[in-house]
Structure 1
Amino acid sequence: MKNTLKPIIRNFIRKPAINLINLFGLAISLVFVIILSVYCYNELTTDTHHAGGDRIYLIGKPGAGMNTPAILKPHIDMEVPGVEASIRVAGTWQAPVFQTENGEPITSDLIFSDPDFFSFFNYKTVEGDCAAALNNPMSVVITKPLANKLFGRNSALGETIKYNNEKLLTVSAVIEKPTGNSFLNFSALTSIETRKILQPSEGEFKEWGWSNFQTYLLLGENADPTQVAKTIFSVFPKEFQKWVEEIHLIKLKDVYFSNLQTFGAHHVSMGDKTKALILLFVAVLILIIALVNFINISSSQWMERIKQTGVLKVIGATRIIIFRKVLSETFLVFIAAVILALVIMAGITPIIQSYTGIQFSTKLISSPKLLSILFTATLVFSLILSLIPGFSISSSKAVNNLKRSVDQNSKKTYLRNGLITLQYVISIVLIAFTTLIYKQVEFGSNNLVFNQENTIAVKLTPQLDKNIIKDEFEKIPEVQNVSMSQFYPGKQLSSWGTRLKLDGQEHEVHFTTFSADAEFFSIMNLEIVQGRLYSDASEKDKNKVIVNETFLKEFNIENPVGGTFEMNNNFDYEIIGVMKDFHFKSVENAIGPLAIINQGYASYGLATIQAGDFNSLSSTLKKINQVASQISPAFPVEVSFLDSAVKNMYESEVRFRRTFSLFSISAVIICAMGILAMSIFASQRRIKEIGIRKVNGAKVSEILSMLNKDFVKWVLIAFVIATPVAYYAMNRWLENFAYKTNLSWWIFALAGKLALGIALLTVSWQSWRAATRNPVEALRYE
């Protein structure tokens, strides 16, 4: 081992700059490759950790999302063969507040389920009996993080917590967060029977029109999901089948990427498989760049040390010994890079997660499974990457080695130049794609057609009565307008299917809806294009409806004014106006039919603030917080700016933008490190030529041009190759958006210029050093 390490260390010290570039470039590449791979693995294996997950399905309805009525479960249990068990899961429209006797109120996510929940989903029990919590009303299961917030290090078992400052719940069990990624997000879980007490609703469990639950099925071993879905559809009453249209059963591991609508399901998070695969592809590209750097640098180093190989052959070294020497050095460099990467990751992973928003368990990085994969990959790559220099050196003649005349044929030069060109192709594609992502996100956030400036939203609580808070806010001089609404952009919406009676005819309609007062239209700067707006002062305008332009297009209606919607067998909701379309969801989604109803329900208080500068805006916010906190002392007051909520509409896109741009820039930097090393080699190989040219009167600019022209040529070739590749990839990505930015020519031009600029900056520094060097130093031994 000593005889192997000693020459490797000596060779490393002889050219420290190039070797450090090689080692750190490989290590940094592995950092990003591992982080991206672990994140994508975490995403792509969502909910695969549940035992029996292959037989667990969620009922989904195209267009209506994943919500189903509570009354469906007993019918499935009695009438649908092939179903071994079923459970219902529901969340809350607003996250409740939990509080211990002397503790601070904590806002947390709560879900309700049937007793068999833990037979479907695997969670590790820390203490207590989970089954008891779902069999006994007013018992609750909480996660370990919530238990720590509420009770510190003390045992939570048997303790009571206050729900929304009203009802008392007894902690029957504490569970760990799931070991793998899950689309179900909650901190507390209680029974369906408890829901009837905490959120009493007379028709929720008796009427088919209430769809507030997600229904999960455990199918028998031989059950056919398609046939089960057809049978469940037949269970729905005839008058509801036209709204359901059809039933699909989505396998549990596929729910996360199913793109089902999640109306009111705050406890459900959905992923984007396309984005995960794109980031995984970025990881592959970074790895390719790193390996190309390693091949070019390592092979060039071995060509430089060809005389050393000749001496080994003269003293009796066989081809196997020389090849083993190449392999051992490659393997040790890879092992050193892996160890360095793991050390760097320990400090940098939390920073990357904080900046990009991508989340995964850091335990995965140090897991035996990942470490074994890293070791195996290191061995495989070391063997593969040792073949080229190992075969070339071991097959050369000792005489040629000692003369330093190893065969530098054109095939090897073309291979090296081709690999460098490949790096530039990847860099140009990544730069262009990053630019497009920025352009698309900006396009979406700037084309929403509603006002976002100096508008705040206050989440209402049981103590924040909408009438009281409106009166108090209007007393603040800087507050211009105040509105009470169930919704503002960035928040969850309801879906409603009913009949519309218009001009003596009935239309079946399905649309998104929420309740808001008349001031909402003024605050959001929404334009009425047909009919009129309802008035808060007029009692006759109760239950009046404003629809959007898409509502007319969707249902082929020219003038909906005077039409009425059916609710509880009565056509009481009258359309009195049409508003201009605005984006109430991300521009990734097409604008759908929308109806805003004057029902008087509210979940948020909206207010526009007149503020000349930051200090006055900050002062007004303090007044609003103070007023709200005085009215609602038992509940945390949540105040947010509307533009922040709008950013939440694009949270997925912004997170993807940050992640993609960070890793793309890193890939370009790693590519530049490899080009820097190659430029050092190029200038060192031609140092005598440079000295002769300078002696014969060559200018520094001419030397720079000579050394740089090859790299410029490779960038231009790479640009020609990368442009159609980038165009195709970017065009495919834009197809995911209903409203998208233009694929402008300047994106490709900018990517090419940046790649050329990076190449010239990287190469020119070393070229300038070589061009300004005293030629006597290069020729003194000639």
Structure 2
Amino acid sequence: MLRNYFKVAWRNIIRQKTYSILNIAGLSIAMASSILILLWVQNELSYDRFHRNSEQLYRLICSAGDFRAAVSPAGMGSGLQAEMPEIEASLRLSKSSTHLFEAGGNKFEEKRVFFADSNFLQFFSFDLLQGNAKTAMRDPGGILLTEEMAEKYYGTEPALGKIIRINNKENFIVAGILATSPSNSHLQFDFIIPMAALAKSNYDLRNNVWDRFNFYTYLQFNKNSSSVDIQNHIPRIQQIYKRHNSDGKIDFQLQPLTSIHLHSDLQIDVPGHGNIQYVNIFFIVALFIIAVGCINFMNLSTAHSARRTKEVGMRKVVGATRFQLVGQFLSEALIVSFISLLIAVGVVYLFMPVFNTLTEKKLAVHLQDGDLLIKLVGIAFITGIISGSYPALFLSGFRPVSVLKGKFTFAGGSLLFRNGLVIAQFVVAIVLLIGTAVVYNQMNFIKNKNLGFEKSNLLYTPMTGDLWSKLAVYKDALRQNPLTSNFSVISELPAALISGTIDVEWEGRDPNSQVVIPSIDVDENFIDVFKMKILTGRSFSAAFKGDSSNYMINEKAMQVMGMNAGNAVGKRISFGGTKGTIIGVVKDFNFKSLQYVIEPLVLRLNKWGGLVMVRTQPDNTEATIKVLEGINQELNPAYPFTYHFFDKNLDDLYRSEQQMGRIFNLFAALAIFISCLGLYGLSAFMAEQRTKEIGVRKVLGASVTGVVALLSKDFLRLVLIAIVIASPIAWYTMNRWLQSFAYKIDIQWWLFVLASLLTISIAMLTVSYQSIKAALMNPVKSLRSE
């Protein structure tokens, strides 16, 4: 019986080529799209689960009021472990830093460098390809590097035991070669250096401080601790912290290692995190797109059911039960589904490189993976059952007597259901289209928003090596060339400031207030180079020797401190224990991403260096870079010259949002395309069903335009209903997404009008081809049989 089912099913697929092609094309594209999205979703959800004890590993994070950060004090990890037997191990990790490495005749600056405690390889499950995991991190003079870095610096020569020089100062011995950090790890590194090496010069490490937050702390709880038990330890952690630092009003939380990638809206965190909101959105998008493909199948199957009524009638007359007929039609749906799956897998292989570029991932389909095969077969089976269920039940319900007498007519319920499916298709497409428009406008708003300074034509180069000790000579060299004379030396970029302290005092401060105030060290040229505005007072000046102990603040800090533009200048404040006077108030500017509101900020006179920011002259950027390179090579020949564009750093703050926008663009287009495939098939069927009616109308004088309008108006009505349903859904969804930004657009009505007009235009173009074709047909041919 099954053999007969599949034989008849295959014959029907071959006989109705156009209908089959439309069905298979729609399902193939829908499956391929969903497989790509689900691979991305699976990758996002898999972060850090490869560690042996991933369920027992937690990161210690803190908050001070609304300021939430991923860092904690250097002494806290070992201190908690000593007092809490539930903690089996603790690990400290530094923030990533940039260092100059030299080995094998190769010399490069590397950014993904971390210092870690000696139990790094026991705590995490990163693969050590060469070296001894137990001893590799015990020697302060040892270093771990990834396989990729070993090849970069040593080529084909064995790197283990070789010397690598850092910052032209210290020699380290390669103690181990690590596999490249897995792409689904929240820690992405190239070099791991023992924390003992940093402890030689780091105050926090030498003194095991509890009041300075500069390290990431990870804790491993024992196997008997459930997630609920672990979270119940937080009050005890608070108590222990209070005993060591009674002045700080800090709250601590324990963040599961497996939640770091998708649930970290924290400041001072490692870069590259995802967003659980985006994972949920795209998982729903994947379901919607596969649903659109299934709807296509249902629609076309029920629309073409008139051609198979006599087949159903004959089968019932010769004894076929409804169950057998359902099996017959489900078999056809499953064959179409599995053919579509084979094509979809081929499409996924073909477009995987493009999708990886789009998402900045390294996803792959491994068909030898049994779990993946089961999932793919499951997708095809469920898709076939869902898409074939209604047509099977509908077709198997025909009454044989009515069918064979030629008196069978389609019930209104069938037409209503089919129209409902078309509406559902276009609701999905319109929601995605409006979502694309909102994301694009938000990104455009971010790109063009006035941040309080002029961000274009700014490039910067880090002050490394000998430049620190030659600061005065370096500044003189920059001043002497008109291409580089407009410069400022700052401690860090005013794009994503990570420094901050609660140790700030001012007159009238509420002793119970807990305000984290970031700071940046700037020089006398900072305001002019960034083209900022002084609200009151003045900027730092070389003419005032006392400015080394003075401060500037922003408007927000002035408001928090209870001051105004008339009385702020001259007020005394203490920042980090250093007392000084406010000499000026700068107009507020965004020094973090637009997902954060502007915070209070203190500006101090730069005494150390950091980054040299140069405002280039229009059309002279390349020449300016060459001048900078020449100055650096003369004063700092041991370090390679590097430079970066400031606006590129600003763009990088919104990389995940930009990715979301690109993915939305792609899948909105695909959803509309799949919907139009079904619309094309339905319009062809409706035109065929009304051939004689069209012939009669033309004989009676109907114009081509009138016939096209007649055939198109029903579909137009369905699209308009879809627009009415989709608009509030899209508004609610995108308004929720915009809440993650402190500065955002208002969703304008014209976005909905534009998306609606575009959808109507595409739908009408799709329908018009068949309508015009039917309207132009010679009525003699259609009426000949009469």
Alpha-carbon offset, residue 597 of structure 1: 1.2
Distance 2:148 2:432 in 1: 39
Q: How far, CA to CA, are the matches of 1:629 and 1:297 in structure 2?
A: 71
Q: How does 1:242-257 map to 2 (within 5 A)?
A: 242-257=247-262
Alpha-carbon separation, structure 2, partners of 1:588 and 1:304: 58
The corresponding residue for 1:561 is 569
1:606 Cα shift?
A: 1.0
Picking from 689, 703, 728, the partner of 2:693 is: 689
Q: CA deviation at 1:592?
A: 0.9
Q: Does 1:481 align with 2:486?
A: yes
- Please give the residue correspondences for 1:329-368 in structure 2 after superposition, counting only pairs within 5 Å: 329-357=332-360, 359-362=361-364, 367-368=369-370
Pick one of 483, 500, 503 that aligns with 2:505.
Answer: 500
Residue 326 of structure 1 corresponds to: 329
Q: What corresponds to 1:523 in structure 2? A: 529
Q: Which amino acid aligns with 1:233?
A: Q
Q: 1:375 to 1:632 in 2, by over 3 A?
A: farther
Q: Is 2:726 the partner of 1:722?
A: yes
Deviations 1:272-326 (A, max 9, x none): 2112211222222212211111211233334433334445556665544433332
Structure 2 counterpart SS, 1:423: helix
Distance 1:567 1:376 in 2: 62
Query: Cα deviations across residues 199-243 of structure 1 (Å, max 9, x unaligned)?
Result: x22354314343211111112324843453223323335684443
| AA partner of residue 435 (structure 2) | F
Tell me which moved more, 440-449 or 506-515: 506-515
| Inter-partner Cα distance in structure 2 for 1:353 and 1:374 | 20
Distance 1:553 1:238 in 2: 33
Q: CA deviation at 1:707?
A: 0.7
Equivalent position SS for 1:478: coil
Match status 1:597 vs 2:604 = yes
- 2: distance between equivalents of 1:534 and 1:662? 50
The equivalent position to 1:235 in structure 2, one of 237, 240, 245, is 240
Task: Quote the offset at 1:553 in angstroms.
Answer: 2.5
Name the amino acid aligned to 1:372.
I
Q: 2:548 aligns with which of 534, 537, 542?
A: 542
Match of 1:588 in 2: 595
Letter in 2 for 1:44: L
The equivalences for 1:102-113 within 5 A come to: 102-113=105-116
- Deviation sequence 1:126-155 (CA, Å, 0-9, x none): 222233221111212222332332333443
Q: Do residues 533 (structure 1) and 530 (structure 2) align?
A: no
Q: Is the 8 A contact 2:210 2:244 kept in 1?
A: no
Q: Conserved in 1, the CA contact under 8 Å of 2:326 and 2:392?
A: yes
- For the residues of structure 2 that align with 1:239 and 1:529, how far apart are their CA atoms? 41
State the Cα distance separating 1:712 from its structure 2 match: 0.9
Aligned residues: percent identity? 29
The residue that corresponds to 2:198 in the other structure is 195
On the 8 A contact 2:458/2:614 being kept in 1, the answer is yes
The one-letter code matched in structure 1 to 2:591 is F
2:179 to 176, 179, 185: 176
> What corresponds to 1:376 in structure 2?
378
State the Cα distance separating 1:699 from its structure 2 match: 0.5
> How many angstroms apart in 2 are the aligned matches of 1:645 and 1:729?
29
> Is 2:25 aligned against 1:24?
yes
* Residues 500 and 563, structure 1, Cα contact 8 Å, conserved in 2: no
TM-score where L is the length of structure 2: 0.91
241-250 or 704-713: which moved more? Answer: 241-250
The residue that corresponds to 2:654 in the other structure is 650
Amino acid at match of 1:370: L
Relative to 1, partners in 2 of residues 1:345 and 1:366: Cα closer, same or farther, differing over 3 Å?
A: farther
The structure 2 residue matched to 1:609, chosen from 606, 616, 630, is 616
Deviation at 1:71, TM superposition (A): 2.0
Q: How many pairs are equivalent?
A: 772
Aligned to 1:761: 765
- The Cα of 1:483 is off from its aligned counterpart by 0.9
1:732-756 per-position Cα deviation (integer Å, ceiling 9, x unaligned) = 2222222221122212222221221
Query: Which of 260, 264, 276 is equivalent to 1:259?
Result: 264
Instruction: Give the structure 2 partner of residue 394 of structure 1.
Output: 396
Give the corresponding residue for 2:748. Answer: 744
CA distance in 1, matches of 2:748, 2:657: 20
**Using a 3 Å threshold, how does the CA distance of structure 1 residues 77 and 684 change in structure 2: closer, same or farther?**
same
Tell me if structure 1 keeps the 8 A contact 2:595–2:741.
yes
Distance 1:572 1:772, change over 3 A: same
Tell me by how many angstroms 1:529 deviates: 0.7
Deviation at 1:88, TM superposition (A): 0.9
Distance in 2 (CA, whole Å) between partners of 1:575 and 1:338 is 68
User: How far apart are residue 342 of structure 1 and its match?
Assistant: 1.4
Q: Does residue 687 of structure 2 align to residue 698 of structure 1?
A: no
CA distance in structure 1 between the partners assigned to 2:621 and 2:194 by the alignment: 44
Greater alpha carbon shift after TM alignment, 408-417 vs 686-695: 686-695
Identify the range of structure 1 (737-746 vs 139-148) with the bigger mean alpha-carbon deviation: 139-148
CA contact under 8 A between 1:307 and 1:403: conserved in structure 2? no
Asked if 1:711 corresponds to 2:719, the answer is: no
User: 1:42, CA displacement in angstroms?
Assistant: 1.9
Structure 2 CA distance for aligned equivalents of residues 346 and 464 of structure 1:
50
SS in 2 for 1:510: coil
Once residues 132 and 507 of structure 2 are traced to their aligned partners in structure 1, the CA distance between those partners, rounded to angstroms, is 56
Unaligned runs of 5+ in 2: none
- Tell me: CA distance 1:168–1:299, structure 2 relative to 1, closer, same or farther (3 Å): farther
Q: Is the 8 A contact 1:69 1:209 kept in 2?
A: yes
Residue aligning to 1:87? 91
Q: 1:766 to 1:632 in 2, by over 3 A?
A: farther
Contact 2:95 2:114 in 1 (8 A): yes
**Paired position in structure 1 for 2:34:** 33
CA contact (8 A) 1:587 1:739 kept: yes
2:49 alignment counterpart: 48
Which one is further off, 341-350 or 505-514?
505-514
Distance of 2:662 and 2:509 partners within structure 1: 54
SS in 2 for 1:109: strand
Residue 417 of structure 1, CA deviation: 0.1
Where 1:572 maps in the other structure, the secondary structure is: strand
Aligned Cα root-mean-square deviation (Å): 2.8
Secondary structure, counterpart of 1:514 in structure 2: strand
Q: 1:96 aligns with which of 94, 99, 116?
A: 99
1:526-554 Cα deviation digits (max 9, x unpaired): 11112221114543211432111111233
CA gap 1:190/1:618 in 2 versus in 1, 3 angstroms:
closer
Shift of 1:406: 4.4
- Distance between the aligned counterparts of 2:289 and 2:426, measured in 1? 12
- Kept in 1: contact 2:263–2:276 (CA 8 A): no
The equivalent position to 2:434 in structure 1, one of 432, 435, 453, is 432
Range with greater deviation from structure 2 (331-340 or 382-391): 382-391
Q: Distance in 1 between matches of 2:602 and 2:175?
A: 43
Q: Distance in 2 between matches of 1:288 and 1:145?
A: 43
Shift of 1:481: 0.9
Partner of 1:147: helix, strand, or coil? helix
Shift of 1:9: 5.0
Q: Which amino acid aligns with 1:552?
A: M
Residue type of the partner of 1:530?
Answer: T
| Partner of residue 143, structure 1 | 146
Once the two structures are overlaid, the 10-residue window that deviates more, 268-277 or 145-154, is 145-154
- CA apart distance, 1:86: 1.2
Q: Distance in 2 between matches of 1:222 and 1:239?
A: 26
- Give the whole-Å Cα distance in 1 for the aligned partners of 2:116 and 2:26: 51
In structure 1, the partner of 2:62 is 61
Tell me by how many angstroms 1:125 deviates. 2.5
Residues 569-623 of structure 1: CA distance to partner in whole angstroms, max 9, x if unpaired? 5x33432211111111121111111112113233321111112x4xx44444444
The unaligned stretches of length 5 or more in structure 1 are: none
